[in-house]
Amino acid sequence: MNRVHNTKIVLWLITGLAAAIALNRFVFGLGATTNLNDEVPWGFWIGFKLSWVALSAGGFVIGAIFYMMKREKFHSLVRIAILTAFLGYSSFVVSLIFDLGLPWNIWHMIIYWNPHSPLFEVGWCVMLYTTVLVLELLPVPLESTSRYAAVRKFLLKFRFPIVLLGIMLSTLHQSSLGTLFLIMPRRLFPLFYSHIIPIEFFISAIAGGLLMLAFETLALHWMYRRKLETDLVRLLCSLSVWILGLYFLVKIGDVVLEGKVGLLFEGSWRSYLYVGELLLSTVIPFVMFVVPKWCANRKVQWIGTSIGILGVVLNRIDIGGFAMRDATLWYTPSWMEVVLSIGILSTAALVFIFLIETFHVWDIQPRDPEALAHTPPLFDRVSGAWLGNPKTSALTRHTLAFVISFAIGMALISGKKLHAEGIENVTVRPASGIDTLCINGNRDSQYVEFPHQAHIGWMRNGKISSMTLDSIHYVLRTGADSCLVCHHLNLPGEKLSICWECHTSMYSEVDFFRHDWHASSSGANLKCDDCHTPGETRTAQTARKCTGCHPSYTFADTAGNGADAYFIPSYVDAMHKLCVSCHTIESRVLKDKPNLALCSTCHRTGTPPGLRAGMKWDVTLPRFDNVVLPTPVPGVK
């Protein structure tokens, strides 16, 4: 089994999947791709990519150990470490392009300055440090050709100051990434928030960088089936023990000194998260590597480094989004968020493999056995016709892997539901047993009496004309439950009745059916045929009725049938119309009540008659209290 080749295939598969999601991100926006929301605007992406930067710290740590402290043992790791750092930072920048809302403005940081912002500092450091890494790496590809020998020589001459600058810049931004969160003392759960986050980030980055290098060395040897002869991994692990110990002390010290010990045992899922993170990122790898005998064991090295890396990743993801306290909106990353992040890493891994196979980055230049295997195409012996290739080439297989998974990705991306279902449900206070409501809508000492039972009675015994009955579609269609959705028991602003779902505006006319929104992929994401019958002319009349999808919008169907008359009155007007329109009609139909439509017929001033004993008519009272409840009518619930 060819491990190199299979690894590459897997990486190409993930890359293909991620490419489809990347497309989705740019065509449909962040909302369609991520589960981020107004409460948690930073999430998995930010946290995960912060950990990439931390795990790239090996670049500057090995630089310091090798160039500054002259530990020659680490020579074979230097190039690998710097390449890892370079790819880590590049992945960080690439993933920013997907995460930023307006990535084409990313260069604005160069011209618009805000030195107060930690992010500004991080941005500049990352820009400068990536440049430094390029300068550190450039001599490697230049080795293969003598044409640029002068450039190479020039770069090598300045190697020491370049490495020094790299270390200084890394110190800054590794810690400044923690500074980003200093401004959120009340947003982060107190266990995760600390005034020394920058220091914690710096220390954990050093530990993470060392563990990452150890893990990489193990993985490379496994992949290319090389025997690990040096004790470099052991050295790295035993070196990280010191840092892990220090990290643990700093973290526990902070918890104790800030008086947060109680929170550790709080039992909430965030406290478990913190304890778990502490175990993974410090305690477990520390214990595994602190015993010299264990530290030299290959299996322990594999497990310890993986756990340590996982711990650093978990720490960054927690602080980046999961440790939000009391979020009213739950955030779990969408599968697209996760796959896109991993896809960027896969691409980086592919670049890494390509570079170590092409240039002298590692102590040897490994070969992909599959890539070298060249088999000539088959030809028919007699006719000379091409019979095909006996083996598809590596390139073809990689391309196939990418294309197939890209296609699968495109198929998996269906329009994510972006609209919430209606509005929050609140129990409606029903009008049970009430005969006469005195409604003081404007709290201005005027009121309107609404004899409830009488209205129902008039309707039933035909005292109200059939003309009116048609116009009050609302009452008729909602039947006996009509009281439940009655405006008069809602306070303004309360979204209790379904009225609000269409009469979205309090005072102005609204377009209650938004065709663009229904058709838009970021809205209801419907296809034409979902509402319009195929083959027929697409008009409002032939379209599917509103109730087909919204069973509760019983009266919307009648409103929509007036061709393009989708404009409906404001909430206030609609509610007034409930009474006024009928009263207007009735005043014309009924000969004996010509004044029925006059405002003063219903609007009265003063204290309402029939006020129950003990009740006060106080205009300063909140409105619901001003709905007077006289004697209940027997037999009515």
Binding segment toward other proteins, per CB under 8 A, in 175-183, 337-345, 406-414, 558-566 = 175-183
Q: Cβ 50 to other proteins, closest distance in Å?
A: 13
Q: How many residues bind other proteins (CB under 8 A)?
A: 88
Q: What's the 3-state SS for 251-303?
A: HHHHHHHCCCHHHHCCCCHHHHHHHHHHHHHHHHHHHHHHCHHHHCCHHHHHH
CA distances (Å), 436 to each of 234, 492, 600, 615, in order? Answer: 86, 20, 18, 15
Q: Is residue 31 near other proteins by the rule CB under 8 A?
A: yes
DSSP 324: B
Q: Which is nearer to other proteins, 42 or 362 (CB)?
A: 42
Q: Are 510 and 501 in contact (CB under 8 A)?
A: no
Task: Please give the single-letter amino acid code of residue 538.
Answer: R
Binding segment toward other proteins, per CB under 8 A, in 21-29, 255-263, 286-294, 601-609 = 21-29
Q: Is residue 619 near other proteins by the rule CB under 8 A?
A: no
Q: Which is nearer to other proteins, 121 or 318 (CB)?
A: 121
Binding segment toward other proteins, per CB under 8 A, in 16-24, 119-127, 355-363, 376-384 = 119-127
Contact with other proteins (CB under 8 A): which of 377, 422, 562, 594? 422
Q: Is residue 257 near other proteins by the rule CB under 8 A?
A: no
Q: Are 22 and 342 in contact (CB under 8 A)?
A: no
Sign of CA dihedral 297, 300, 306, 310: negative
φ, ψ at 563 (rounded to 5°): 50, -110
Contacts for 507 with CB less than 8 Å, ≥ 6 apart: 570, 571, 572
Q: Which is nearer to other proteins, 403 or 506 (CB)?
A: 506
Contact with other proteins (CB under 8 A): which of 511, 530, 557, 573? 511
Q: Are 437 and 449 in contact (CB under 8 A)?
A: yes
Binding segment toward other proteins, per CB under 8 A, in 210-218, 231-239, 299-307, 620-628 = 620-628
Binding segment toward other proteins, per CB under 8 A, in 232-240, 325-333, 432-440, 556-564 = 325-333
Residues 434-493 that bind other proteins (CB under 8 A): 443, 491-493
Cross-strand pairs, 511: 567
Q: Is residue 182 near other proteins by the rule CB under 8 A?
A: yes
Binding segment toward other proteins, per CB under 8 A, in 13-21, 118-126, 302-310, 350-358 = 118-126
Q: Is residue 73 near other proteins by the rule CB under 8 A?
A: no
Q: Is residue 360 near other proteins by the rule CB under 8 A?
A: no
Q: Is residue 265 near other proteins by the rule CB under 8 A?
A: no
The whole-angstrom separation of Cα 187 and Cα 129 is 30
The whole-angstrom separation of Cα 625 and Cα 571 is 22
Residues 520-559 that bind other proteins (CB under 8 A): 522-523
Q: Cβ 210 to other proteins, closest distance in Å?
A: 17
Q: Is residue 423 near other proteins by the rule CB under 8 A?
A: yes
**Which token pair is 468?**
């009116």
Q: Which is nearer to other proteins, 32 or 353 (CB)?
A: 32
Contact with other proteins (CB under 8 A): which of 150, 249, 291, 329? 329
Q: Cβ 42 to other proteins, closest distance in Å?
A: 5
Q: Cβ 137 to other proteins, closest distance in Å?
A: 20
Contact with other proteins (CB under 8 A): which of 198, 285, 304, 343? 198
Q: Which is nearer to other proteins, 522 or 558 (CB)?
A: 522
Binding segment toward other proteins, per CB under 8 A, in 391-399, 401-409, 514-522, 529-537 = 514-522
Q: Are 106 and 97 in contact (CB under 8 A)?
A: yes
Q: Are 459 and 446 in contact (CB under 8 A)?
A: no
Q: Cβ 68 to other proteins, closest distance in Å?
A: 4
Contact with other proteins (CB under 8 A): which of 421, 534, 563, 616? 421
Q: Is residue 151 near other proteins by the rule CB under 8 A?
A: no
**Which token pair is 550?**
């919204």
φ, ψ at 569 (rounded to 5°): -65, 165
Q: How open is the CA angle 216-219-222, to the nearest 5 degrees?
A: 150
φ, ψ at 403 (rounded to 5°): -65, -45
Q: Is residue 105 near other proteins by the rule CB under 8 A?
A: yes
Q: Is residue 100 near other proteins by the rule CB under 8 A?
A: yes
Q: Are 22 and 410 in contact (CB under 8 A)?
A: no
Contact with other proteins (CB under 8 A): which of 3, 75, 225, 419? 419
The whole-angstrom separation of Cα 280 and Cα 310 is 7
Q: Which is nearer to other proteins, 119 or 611 (CB)?
A: 119
Q: Cβ 510 to other proteins, closest distance in Å?
A: 6
Helix axes 159-179, 118-137, angle to 10 degrees: 150
Contacts for 615 with CB less than 8 Å, ≥ 6 apart: 628
| Residue 410 three-state SS | helix
> Looking only at Cα atoms, what is the longest distance across the chain?
115
Residues 52-71 that bind other proteins (CB under 8 A): 64, 67-70
DSSP 320: I
Q: Are 617 and 607 in contact (CB under 8 A)?
A: yes
Q: Which is nearer to other proteins, 28 or 89 (CB)?
A: 28
Residue pointed to by tokens 């490419």: 19
Q: Which is nearer to other proteins, 112 or 265 (CB)?
A: 112
Q: Which is nearer to other proteins, 21 or 180 (CB)?
A: 180
